[in-house]
Every structure is written in structure tokens, then in C-alpha cells.
Chains A and B, each alone.
Chain A
Amino acid sequence: MSTLNEHHLQALRDIVGTEHVASSRTDRLTHSFDATQQHCMPDVVVHPKSTEEIAAIVQLAAKHRLPLLPRGAGSGFSGGALPVQGGVVLVLTRMNRILEIDTNNLIAVVEPGVVTARLQEAVERLGLFYPPDPASKEFSTLGGNVAECAGGPRCVKYGVTRDYVLGLTVVTPTGEIIRTGGRTIKNVVGYDLTRLFVGSEGTLGIVTEIILRLLPKPAAKRTMLATFTQIDGAAEAVSAIIRGKIIPTTLEFMDAGAIGCVRDLPGIDLPADCQALLIIEVDGEPAQLEPQLERIIELMQPLGLLATTIAQDAAEAEALWRVRRSVSPSLRKLGPNKFNEDIVVPRAKVPEMIRALEALSQRLALPIINFGHAGDGNIHVNLMVDLQEPGMEAKVQAALTEIFRTTVSLGGSVSGEHGIGLAKQPYIGLELDQPTLAVMQAVKTALDPLGIMNPGKIFPAESRLALAHDETV
């Protein structure tokens, strides 16, 4: 890999225009981080406007062996947007046009820089629906959502980003422009490259256009908050609801630690003996919703249910959601450093996973706060610590390793929706065996023979990988 020089900078300026190439220390600094709060300085930041410009930049990078990586809002939690080897950061936020909303075929065609919530607003105005709703939807971009295969609370019923991507335009690491999939639900011509690129974390190419599937917007939605005396009851309730053949739109949970963080906030009123809670939403035809909620209450009743509150209007629903949304911001009370993991286990294993986390928290005397998308088994595990304390770093590493081992042993995954990036590299070997990893690496090498596209991500350096894998044996 070579370093960037003035000749490269001039070539970049010729492609996108001088004002869209930034190489001052300040400009590099303001593009050196993402939501992992780690910093890696890029050599240059480029804001391209078209697929063709990106292809030209990639060809330039390939010719001169310059590392490059795409960046959307930079709101990822796994370090996907960190330029660990420096190089060229391609910020795609100027490519933010919704190119088409096709109400006949229920399709949207977008550029990668469109913010998720803006597409949702645009399609909802036409009575349509784009379900994936990552917590960052107000600022995350669809390109980033595709790269990480973003999820969100609604995924329990509607699936994740990959379930809505029908086709892509991609600039490959050699600078070719390719098109995968298309505008139809059915398409079995050749390999399913669309699925390969979704969730590839910017390591296989740069997505420059996305064809998305839309749904009709559900006519109505109801929101309910259910409180429980114990986490076991709430965790069992998740399984009971699914077993009862109801798939809610969202099924979020909070454990006692998470409740403790928000209990005293103004406007939040929870029973004193509430040790766990669920926020449950159902959507569909208005007449179906009341009976569904009644059936859910019936299923939860024997499981230590304390109380249920059903929102009567949008404002009341918002007040119920406030309980859940207040958790993340208030976590800092417990410790200045947060380790936010997004493990996922099969739904029926949620109670077992929660019990294991509680036991671990007690054994290591570490605050572990759990909340998240219980309905699809995706638990946000937050270790709140002060890394200034001596020995804390090692303690956290031990705790994380144990959490991921338990997750995998229950048939789960170390990341449900954040991706591997940089943050989860040490743990990928706990889940994927060597032959599987070798196939993935073969794909990477085939598409990116020069190793310039978002280098240093997903796959750990050889030695670490072997170590992680040995430990599982």
C-alpha cells in the first residue's frame, strides 16, 4: 500500500472538483471517528456525487494501491467507517437523492446518502412503508444500513435491511460498475450478489444505488407497556407471545438495571416492584388490534405480570416509548465507558441468555445493563465501567469473551445488527469455523485482489484469528 501524495490529490480534484477534496488536518480530523469513539486519521476526504466519479476514484486508488473506504453518516457501532490504514475516505452524503418511488411496483430507488427516516417519510406520504428502523434512522444513511445490514425494533415482524434490498449498483474494488438483482421480487439469474454485498461492511465494493422493496403502510398501530416482577417472567413472556402465534411489530424489553437508570426521570412512572418490562406494538387493520392485545395480556398473565398500559393516542404511545429511549442516554450515570454489544440468540433462548448475563454481572461485580429487541432475540448488552480503574480492561475483556461464548453456545451470533468491523474482530472466530472464514476470505480476495477496499476490517490478523479459534476447541 502506498501513501498519498500531491499527484494523487490533484487527480482526485480533477475527478470531483477542488471543493470536494479535503486534506487539511481539520478536515481529516472531523472524519476520523465513528460512534465507536475510536479515531483513525484518513489521508484525504472526498465527497463524490456520482457512480462514475466513484468508479474513477476507485480506479485511481487501485492503480496507486491507496486504501479507501466508503462513509455514510459515520454512526456505526463496530468501526466500519474507521480508516485504520489511512487512505481515501469517500463520504457519500452528497449522493442523497431519492431517485424514484414506484407505487405500481412498490419499489424505491435511492442513492446511498439518503437518510433512512427521510425515505420513510417520503414513502409514508404515499401510503407505503419501509420497515427497517435502526435507532439511528434520523441520521444514518441507507448506504450505511445496506453495508451493515441494519435492523431495528420492527424487525421482529418485518425482517432486516437485507429483506428489502432487491438490487444494487456497486463499484467493485477494481473500479468496475456492476448491477446486482433488479426490480423484481423473483430473480434467480446467477449468484445472489445482492445478498453478498448487503452486510459486507464496505469491504467488497461501494454501493452507489439501491433498489428497495416497499410494503403498504399498516392502517393502524397500538402500543402497550407491560411490567413484570421478575426478568424471568418478561423473558418467558416473549416466548409465550410468539408461541401463541402472534408476531408483534415490536417486542422490546428492559431489565432491572435499565429500569433503574430511568425510574426517577420526570414523566416516567413505573410500579415500585417492577423488575422488568416489555414494550409491545401490534399493527394492521384497526379491528384486529384490540383482540391481539387482549390475547397477549392473557398469555403474559401467569408470568408475574404487574400491570399493562395501552396507549390511547400517539402522544401516549410516545410517552411509553420514552421509557425505552431514555435508557441509552442515562447509562452514563453508571460509568464513563460503555461497551455496547448486540448479541442475538434464538428467541426461545432469551430467558436463558438473560439469566447467564445476570449471573455474570453478579460474579464479576460489573454493571451489565440489558435491553433491546427481545422479540427477535437481539439483546443490547451494555457493560458500564470506568477504564481508569486498575485491572478493569482485563475484566471487561474476560466478561465479553464469556458473553460471546455463551451466546454462541446457545446457537446465537456475536452481532445481530452492528457488524464485525473492528470492534468484534477478536470474537469472529468464536462463531465461524476456519473453513467458513476461509471461504469468506476467498470471496474478499476474489473481489478485492489488491486489498484496498476498507482494509483491516472483519477478518482479524492471522495470529489473532487462530488464537480465537483455538480457544473454542
Chain B
Amino acid sequence: MNIHKELSDYRQELSACVRCGACQAQCPVYLATSKEGAAARGKLVLATELLAGRAELDAEAMRDLSLCLLCGACVHNCPNQVPTDAIVSVLRREISKKRGLGPLAKGVAALTANPRLLGSLVRGAGLFSPLFFKKIPETSGLRLRFSPESLKDRILPPLPSRNLFARLPERLQGQPDKPTLAFFAGCTISYLYPEIAEATVRVLQHLGYTVLVPRQQGCCGMPALSSGNGELLKQLAHANIAAFANLAVDHIITACASCGAALHQVHQAQQVQPGETGQNCTSFANKVMDIHVFLEKEGCLHTLADLLATTTATTQRIKVCYHDPCHLKNHGIIREPRALLRVLPTVDYVEMDGAALCCGLGGTFSASQPDLSRTIADRKTAGLAASGAELVASGCPGCILQLTDIIHRAGLPMRAVHTMTLVLAVLEQALTTKAEM
């Protein structure tokens, strides 16, 4: 049983491409390579020819299909919304099916299907942190997400000794009259940046919500999607549905833009075949909501503003800019994170040049295309430097990892943080001040 669509299911979408070229305008890979095979239009021509049996998956076709961050910029800019990201994912799955998984895809599979392995790798790594990646064996899966070449001089976060699930209880009680929410963490947050999850659920708790953090949740599926592992994608989808199915919650909150996008893409009705699994998938996907969107929709920005009203004079102000994760921006989530930052009284928000430029990480893209990933990343440097900000906030742990690397390589006097980490810091500072008064 394959719950996912195949290339032939996209016949109609493929014919909707009118070859106008609009996909070139925002494609980070096209802008870095200036080659048509990198842009969506080139890939769609290729997909159409493959479907018609007039083309073969030669080395160049595989190369072109690897030149995609799955960021969704082309879909967002397409006059006919042709789902190139989904079509590239399908093609990558078909490549794996025909040729077997590549070493990268195997590494992804070993890790993401087995949270315990990922967890234990990270626990062990704590001893060597921050040199963790250099200490693990060449064959280890986590390495594959960041290839040896891309690791050269890459700055990595000091790895936490305890992962998210060792740090947070499964249920954080809020006020009885407030709704209960579930939190989907994702691998990067769970194992590299558990403090982002902590910040997110603590802020929600301060706002009165009860938050559930199901232990059985797994990987969102983005690396499997990106590396073309259909079998794994199916496993992960079932595991996550099972982990969240019996929770009486209206919303499943994410603080990782890529997890949010992957959960939508993997579980959306368009991607899965009809049937019971399809319905469960759809209802799961419909509940997933980015934390910034949730806070704005629920009117929490006003509540936060009230909670923060007493802070100001004594505390030092900090200049902050914001980087748009592709997986928020290309889903139209641009205003909400900025609105949140503007609520923080000790933050001087500045808009940086090139805020919407991709950071170049793209999940496994940085491992399969390390040089290109850095070329894309380097387009951010000038804007970051000119902003004069001390912090660049963002809504995706992957972007934060990459921004940290960009900042480090350019020697900029700034740090990258998650918006929620910043919100919690400001909030706790305010509450401490209040308590002292």
C-alpha cells in the first residue's frame, strides 16, 4: 500500500505549467546557478517528458532534480500554483524506487525512522560538544544531514546533554478555562535546540494554555521527502497520526517552519490517496499551525503586550532583525512573526535588507549540494551586516543553524535566535521585574 501519489497523479498539474518563467524570479537555486534546469519550469518539462516516456533519468536529470531546496518559492510565485515541490518529491521517490536509496537517503532513513538512535547519538555527542559531528563515524546518519565538506568550519550549536523529551513533561498544565494544545517539536528542535521547544511551550503556558508534548511523535518527514524515501515517509506519517490521534486538541503547534510545511505537504489530501488513512492525514494536517500564526490569530499579542507593559526603563534595549524562513514566507506567513517582535517592548525591530532571501540550508540540500548551499547563504551576509542588529530572529531552527554559520563565517557581531526564545527571555525578565516591584 502506498499512501502517496505517483508522478502520473500529477498529469493535470504538469499541464498547467505555461512555461512563463515566473518561477525563476524567486528560486534560490536558479538565482545562484542561472541555469534553467534549476528552475521549476525546467524540472516540469523534464517531469512531463519522463511521464510521457520520452526522457530518461540520466545523470543530468538526477542533477537537476537534486537542485531543489523544496522551499516552495516557485509554487508561491506560479500564476497557476503548479506544485513543483510535490512533483520533485515524487520524482525523488521514483528515483529511489528504481535505483535504491542513495547513501544520503539511507542515512536519513537510519536516523529519522529511529528517534532512539538519533537521541542516543546526540546524548553521546554531548561529551564532545561542540565538536560532535567531527567525532561521529563517517557512516553515521546525522553526519549525512551535514556532509563532511559542508561541515568544514561550520559552527554548530553546543549540543544539549538532555533532549527535549528529557527536559519537558508530557503535559504542562495551564489555566482550566483555556484550551489545550499539542506541540510538534521535530528533530532539529528535539535534539539540537530543545530550548526552542521549552520557550514555545512555556510562553503558551504563561498565556494560560495547557500544552501536551506527546512522547511518541517522530520526524516530520521533510528529510525523507527531500531524499525520496517513500517507504519511510509512509511510516513517519502513520507514527505521527497515531501519536496525535487521540488528543482532544484543536491545534498542533509547530515552532519549526520546515516541520510545519512538511506536515502539510505530507499529510495533505492532495498528496495522499483517498481512504481512511487519507482522512486521518487531512484532519491531522488541518490542525497543524505555526506558533506565530497561532499567537496572532488567538489575540495573544495583546495579552503579551499587557504582560510586558511594566518592563521598560530599567532594561537594556536590543536591536533585532528578522529572517523569513522559506517555509513560512512561501505559505504567506510574513506579517505574524514581525508583529510578535514588535510587541516586545525592549526590542527595537529593524527590517533587514534581503530578509526574504533563502538561507540555503534546505534540509538535505546542504549535504547534497554544499557549495551551492553556501553560495545561496552568502547572499544574506550584506543585509545582516547592514542591519546593525545584535540579534537576527527567525521561526525555523534549520535557518537558525544556517544563520549562525553565516554570521560566524562573516565575523558579524550578532547572534541568531528563535523568535520564541527571545519572547520567553523578554517575558521572564518582565515577570521578574514585576515580582521585584
Contacts and interface: CB of A to CB of B under 8 A. Distances in A.
Contacts of A73: 21, 24
A27 B60 contact: yes
A29 B16 contact: no
Interface in B20-55: 20-22, 24-25, 34-37, 42, 45-46, 49, 55
Given A74-B36, A91-B36, A96-B34, A26 B46 contact: yes
A266 interface: no
A52 B61 CA distance: 31
Nearest to A144: B21
B46 A29 contact: yes
Interface in A71-101: 73-75, 91, 93-94, 96
A29 B24 contact: no
**Interface bin, chain A:** 20 to 34
A140 to B, nearest CB: 7
Given A26-B64, A74-B36, A329-B79, A32 B24 contact: no
A24 B58 contact: yes
A76 to B, nearest CB: 9
Given A33-B45, A75-B20, A329-B80, A26 B58 contact: yes
A338 B17 CA distance: 12
B56 interface: yes
A136 B20 contact: yes
13 contacts: A24-B60, A25-B56, A26-B37, A26-B46, A26-B61, A29-B46, A74-B19, A74-B36, A115-B25, A117-B25, A136-B21, A138-B22, A139-B22
B18 interface: yes
A379 to B, nearest CB: 20
Which of B19, B21, B22, B49 has the largest count of A CB atoms less than 10 A from its CB? B21
A75 B34 CA distance: 14
A473 B58 CA distance: 54
Contacts of B42: 30
Nearest to A36: B19
Closest 8 CB pairs of A and B: A30-B42, A75-B21, A93-B34, A329-B79, A26-B60, A138-B25, A24-B60, A139-B25
A332 B22 contact: no
A170 B55 CA distance: 37
Given A47-B35, A138-B25, A29 B49 contact: yes
Interface string B59-92: 1110010000000000000011000000000000
Interface residues of B, number: 26
A30 B24 contact: no
Interface string A1-42: 000000000000000000000101111011111111100000
A30 B36 contact: yes
Nearest to A325: B79
Given A29-B49, A332-B16, 20 more contacts: A24-B60, A26-B46, A26-B55, A26-B64, A29-B45, A29-B55, A31-B36, A35-B20, A37-B19, A47-B34, A47-B35, A74-B21, A91-B35, A113-B34, A117-B25, A136-B20, A139-B21, A139-B24, A329-B79, A329-B80
Which of A24, A73, A96 has the largest count of B CB atoms less than 10 A from its CB? A73
A105 interface: no
A29 B19 CA distance: 13
A328 interface: yes
A207 to B, nearest CB: 17
A140 B80 contact: no
Interface in B90-128: none
A104 to B, nearest CB: 25
Which of A91, A96, A113, A329 has the largest count of B CB atoms less than 10 A from its CB? A329
Contacts of A96: 34
A22 B61 CA distance: 12
A26 B49 CA distance: 10
Contacts of A32: 45
Contacts of A117: 25
Contacts of B45: 29-30, 32-33
Interface of A: 22, 24-27, 29-37, 47, 73-75, 91, 93-94, 96, 113, 115, 117, 136, 138-140, 328-329, 332, 336, 338
A49 B79 CA distance: 31
A35 B37 contact: no
A73 B39 CA distance: 11
A96 B56 CA distance: 32
B60 A35 contact: no
Nearest to B34: A93
A291 to B, nearest CB: 34
Contacts of A34: 19
Contacts of B55: 25-26, 29
Interface string B133-171: 000000000000000000000000000000000000000
A336 B45 CA distance: 17
A93 B46 CA distance: 21
A140 B21 contact: yes
Contacts of B58: 24-26
Given A30-B42, A34-B19, A35-B19, A94 B24 contact: no
A47 to B, nearest CB: 7
A328 B79 contact: yes
A340 to B, nearest CB: 10
A338 B25 CA distance: 23
Contacts of B34: 47, 91, 93-94, 96, 113
A27 B35 CA distance: 9
Contacts of B16: 332
B60 A22 contact: yes
A109 B259 CA distance: 44
Nearest to B81: A329
A294 B37 CA distance: 50
B190 to A, nearest CB: 38
Contact of A33 (B15, B19, B24): B19
Given A25-B56, A29-B55, A37-B19, A332 B49 contact: no
B338 to A, nearest CB: 15
A52 to B, nearest CB: 19
A449 to B, nearest CB: 31
A150 to B, nearest CB: 13
Contacts of A332: 16, 80
Nearest to A24: B60
Which of B25, B36, B37, B64 has the largest count of A CB atoms less than 10 A from its CB? B36
A115 to B, nearest CB: 8
Contacts of B79: 328-329
A115 B34 CA distance: 11
Nearest to A37: B19
Contacts of B35: 47, 91, 93
A22 B64 CA distance: 13
A93 B22 CA distance: 15
A95 B61 CA distance: 25
A27 B260 CA distance: 34
Contact of B18 (A31, A35, A139): A35
A34 B49 CA distance: 16
Contacts of B20: 35, 75, 136
Nearest to B77: A138
Given A74-B36, A91-B36, A139-B25, A30 B46 contact: yes
B167 to A, nearest CB: 43
A280 to B, nearest CB: 24
Contact of B59 (A24, A31, A113, A338): A24
Which of A29, A30, A140 has the largest count of B CB atoms less than 10 A from its CB? A30
B267 to A, nearest CB: 24
Nearest to A92: B34
B80 to A, nearest CB: 6
Contacts of B59: 24
Which of A113, A117, A136 has the largest count of B CB atoms less than 10 A from its CB? A136
